Chains A and B, each alone.
Chain A
Amino acid sequence: MIVILALLAIFAGLYMAWNIGANDVANSMSTAVGSNAITLRQALIIASILNFLGAVLVGKHVTDTIQNKIVDVALIADHELMLGFMAALLSAGIFVTLSTWKELPVSTTHAVIGGIIGFGLIEGGMNMVKWGTVENIAASWVISPIAGGVLAFIMFKVIAATIFSSKEPGRMAKNTGPIFITLTLFIIMLSVFMKTKLGAMMGDFTVMEFVAISLGIASLGGIIGFFLLKRVKGKGYDLVENLFRRLQVMTSCYIAFSHGANDVANAVAPVAMVLMLAWKQIDAIYLLAIGGLGIAVGILTWGYKVIKTVGGKITALTNTRGFSIDFSAATVVLVASKLGLPISTTHTVVGAVIGVGLARGLDAVDLSVIKKIVYSWLLTLPASAALSILIYRGLIILF
């Protein structure tokens, strides 16, 4: 019985990972493809590798939140807990399928959290759910797109004020580019070292020492970037966009990495919980590998179609805009990952697009999507929770 349940969990997890690869990755990679910074093939490779790296290196904070901080796992018996996470995973999977079929902008993250809350409520009542954490997570869902928007607004305004307003935009962009590279690498390095296994393996460093190491690596990257950017050719505004096309290769890696750090947990965390209870000990790296594989398969079987469709629709996007969107969304998602907050990458990207639009960076932005996303926020938690309760009841009878 346990083996069947474990296999079922693995399949359900793979299915969730497939969903993430099929739709969510596409939403985060479409900016870079749409502004011709990378080809579809490069997007597939970058997304597969960097999602995996993000999940393995920085994924544990969000995984920890989903496993331990939404319901009080200490108060529930192992068998019920196993079935509960199973139910949450299945309900999220079904809910995401339904929303994909109806083309609703529903987040896989929201669906998983809703599923876990659902079984927690039915198993132990109101007290079983850690409402404080849930409130924080719910707040982060609203804050993350806004933060993405504000950051993108600032980034694009900075680019406009320093580069586009200068007498020699191309030369100015060549000088500013390395700073953006250093900044991006610094944030990534810091996230990789601080409070992670890799950081612990490196030795007993203090926070300030990690900041210094990260800054050193990032500066080195910035210097290399300076010499690479120096060779980029072009005239006037074209040169600026050519330079940012190169920078966008970096930010597309950045967003894939951040996405891996945050969203892979949606699929892997519940599976890890079930398997841990079933077999007492498991190696998390295998699970993350399964998650990464599921995502890669999702991208290859379905995601490329979505990237193609979405990317083809946003051809009006120039590279300075694409860079601002990807950098801002990736930064917000990575910071949320470090805080252990499971958020929606897709919603954050939408926020960043609107931010650039408000900074007078885009010809036209359709804001009607905001209404749809707000509806999806209100709908997803209760619907996914209710579905999870039904499935949990069924599983209790079966097992």
Chain B
Amino acid sequence: MPFRAPVSDTYRKKSPFEGLLEHIAKVRECVHILRDGIIKYIDGNFENFHEIAEKVSELEHEADLIKGNIRAHLPRSVLMPVDKRYFLWLLREQDAILDHAENLAQLLDLRHTIIPKEMKDDFKDHMNLVAATVEEMEKAVENVKDLLMTSFSGRERDETKEYIHNVHQKEWEADQKRYAITAKIYEMEDKLDAMDEYHLLKIVDWIDDIADHAENAADWLRAMIAK
């Protein structure tokens, strides 16, 4: 059924921002599951951890498909209200959060390490701070809906910046926690088995990686919404 419909040719079937929001929804779901699983893990409850690791991998894969789809449907000829490069970098960093979440879950599942009693609360606090960093980032990205609606009004821009500021704040707190835990591990090094110590240090690093990428994503978002 042939038409001459040049007006329709100017529109994309699906907004790339819709895809971005679908992707961040996967991040939200994934980090949520991971956090609950890791809190149990820290308590020494390894029972269902394998299933959690599998679920995290599954979500990471689904998000990968969304990412691929967005990239594949952004030819050079598409004009967006934001710099396309920043948009793609933001997407890439969102995806890095999931990559590191998957990495963390899979590697923790390979060796179930007992977290020493003295450190359990610190590890939990750290995990919660990292998850909070990602949550603030999710809020910042989700505010893109209102930014688009209002054509990037000052008010909505300020709101997004506020969330981005919170991301930096939480990430900083997570960093402080990480240094404190690392110091504690070194203090206890005489009492720890070498392999355990190595793994504890690794766990802290892996968890913290997630917050770092949430912060990177927030930075690209900040660049994306700049005037």
> When chains A and B are docked, how far (Å) is the Cα of A100 from the Cα of B153?
41
Interface segment, one of A80-88, A262-270, A331-339, A343-351? A343-351
Instruction: Check: A365 CB closer than 8 A to any chain B CB.
Output: yes
Would you list which residues of chain A between 96 and 114 have a CB under 8 Å from chain B? 99-106
Q: Given the complex, which residues of B lie within 8 Å of A23, measured CB to CB?
A: 3-5
Indicate if the CB atoms of B9 and A369 lie closer than 8 Å.
yes
Q: In the assembled complex, how far is the CB of residue A152 from the closest CB belonging to chain B, in whole angstroms?
A: 12
Instruction: Check: B77 CB closer than 8 A to any chain A CB.
Output: yes
Indicate if the CB atoms of A104 and B4 lie closer than 8 Å.
yes
Indicate if the CB atoms of B81 and A360 lie closer than 8 Å.
yes
From B9, B16, B18, B74, residue with most partner A Cβ within 10 Å: B9
Instruction: Check: B146 CB closer than 8 A to any chain A CB.
Output: yes
Indicate if the CB atoms of A364 and B151 lie closer than 8 Å.
no
Indicate if the CB atoms of A362 and B81 lie closer than 8 Å.
yes
Q: Given the complex, which residues of B lie within 8 Å of A313, measured CB to CB?
A: 8, 11, 13
Q: In the assembled complex, how far is the CB of residue B15 from the closest CB belonging to chain A, in whole angstroms?
A: 4
Indicate if the CB atoms of B153 and A310 lie closer than 8 Å.
no
Contacts A156-B151, A165-B153; A102 near B2 (Cβ below 8 A)? yes
Interface segment, one of A24-32, A55-63, A211-219, A382-390? A24-32
Would you list which residues of chain A between 45 and 82 have a CB under 8 Å from chain B? none
Indicate if the CB atoms of A350 and B148 lie closer than 8 Å.
no
Q: In the assembled complex, how far is the CB of residue A60 from the closest CB belonging to chain B, in whole angstroms?
A: 27
Indicate if the CB atoms of B79 and A358 lie closer than 8 Å.
yes
Contacts A103-B3, A103-B4; A363 near B75 (Cβ below 8 A)? no
Contact among B3, B80, B146 with A363 in the assembled complex (CB-CB below 8 Å): B80
Instruction: Check: B71 CB closer than 8 A to any chain A CB.
Output: no
Q: Given the complex, which residues of A lie within 8 Å of B1, measured CB to CB?
A: 305
Main secondary structure of the interface of B (DSSP, over half): loop
Contact among B16, B146, B152 with A364 in the assembled complex (CB-CB below 8 Å): B16
From B79, B82, B155, residue with most partner A Cβ within 10 Å: B79
> When chains A and B are docked, how far (Å) is the Cα of A372 from the Cα of B2?
16
Q: Given the complex, which residues of A lie within 8 Å of B9, measured CB to CB?
A: 105, 366, 368-369, 372
Q: In the assembled complex, how far is the CB of residue A162 from the closest CB belonging to chain B, in whole angstroms?
A: 11
**Count the A-B residue pairs with Cβ separation under 8 angstroms: how many?**
140
Would you list which residues of chain B between 54 and 74 have a CB under 8 Å from chain A? 74
Instruction: Check: B149 CB closer than 8 A to any chain A CB.
Output: yes
Contact among B12, B17, B150 with A160 in the assembled complex (CB-CB below 8 Å): B150
Q: Nearest A residue to B149 by beta-carbon distance?
A: A237
Q: Nearest A residue to B74 by beta-carbon distance?
A: A364
Instruction: Check: B7 CB closer than 8 A to any chain A CB.
Output: yes
Contact among B7, B15, B154 with A165 in the assembled complex (CB-CB below 8 Å): B154
Indicate if the CB atoms of B8 and A309 lie closer than 8 Å.
yes
Q: In the assembled complex, how far is the CB of residue B226 from the closest CB belonging to chain A, in whole angstroms?
A: 12
Q: List 7 A-B contacts (CB under 8 A).
A: A305-B1, A306-B5, A346-B4, A357-B79, A363-B15, A364-B16, A372-B6
Q: In the assembled complex, how far is the CB of residue A124 from the closest CB belonging to chain B, in whole angstroms?
A: 32
Indicate if the CB atoms of B81 and A366 lie closer than 8 Å.
no
On chain A, the number of residues with a Cβ less than 8 Å from chain B's Cβ atoms is 54
Q: Nearest B residue to A310 by beta-carbon distance?
A: B8
Indicate if the CB atoms of A366 and B5 lie closer than 8 Å.
no
Instruction: Check: A190 CB closer than 8 A to any chain B CB.
Output: no
Instruction: Check: B48 CB closer than 8 A to any chain A CB.
Output: no
Indicate if the CB atoms of B151 and A164 lie closer than 8 Å.
yes
Known: A156-B151, A363-B148, A372-B6. 10 other contacts (CB 8 A): A100-B4, A103-B4, A237-B146, A237-B149, A346-B4, A347-B6, A350-B10, A360-B152, A363-B18, A364-B11
> When chains A and B are docked, how far (Å) is the Cα of A152 from the Cα of B3?
25
Q: In the assembled complex, how far is the CB of residue B90 from the closest CB belonging to chain A, in whole angstroms?
A: 15
Q: In the assembled complex, how far is the CB of residue A34 from the closest CB belonging to chain B, in whole angstroms?
A: 8
Q: In the assembled complex, how far is the CB of residue B43 from the closest CB belonging to chain A, in whole angstroms?
A: 44
Q: Given the complex, which residues of A lie within 8 Å of B110, measured CB to CB?
A: none
Q: In the assembled complex, how far is the CB of residue A309 from the closest CB belonging to chain B, in whole angstroms?
A: 7
> When chains A and B are docked, how far (Å) is the Cα of A24 from the Cα of B78?
24
Indicate if the CB atoms of B6 and A373 lie closer than 8 Å.
yes
- Ranked nearest first, the 6 interchain pairs of A and B with the lowest CB-CB distance are A105-B6, A363-B15, A360-B81, A164-B150, A368-B77, A310-B8
Q: Given the complex, which residues of A lie within 8 Å of B82, measured CB to CB?
A: 360
From B1, B15, B150, B151, residue with most partner A Cβ within 10 Å: B151
- Digitize B134-150: 1 where CB-to-A-CB distance is under 8 Å, 0 elsewhere: 00000000000010111
Q: Given the complex, which residues of A lie within 8 Å of B4, measured CB to CB?
A: 23-24, 27, 99-100, 103-106, 346
Q: Given the complex, which residues of A lie within 8 Å of B148, measured CB to CB?
A: 363
Q: In the assembled complex, how far is the CB of residue B20 from the closest CB belonging to chain A, in whole angstroms?
A: 10
Q: Nearest B residue to A104 by beta-carbon distance?
A: B4
Would you list which residues of chain B between 138 and 195 have a CB under 8 Å from chain A? 146, 148-155
> When chains A and B are docked, how far (Å) is the Cα of A366 from the Cα of B11?
6
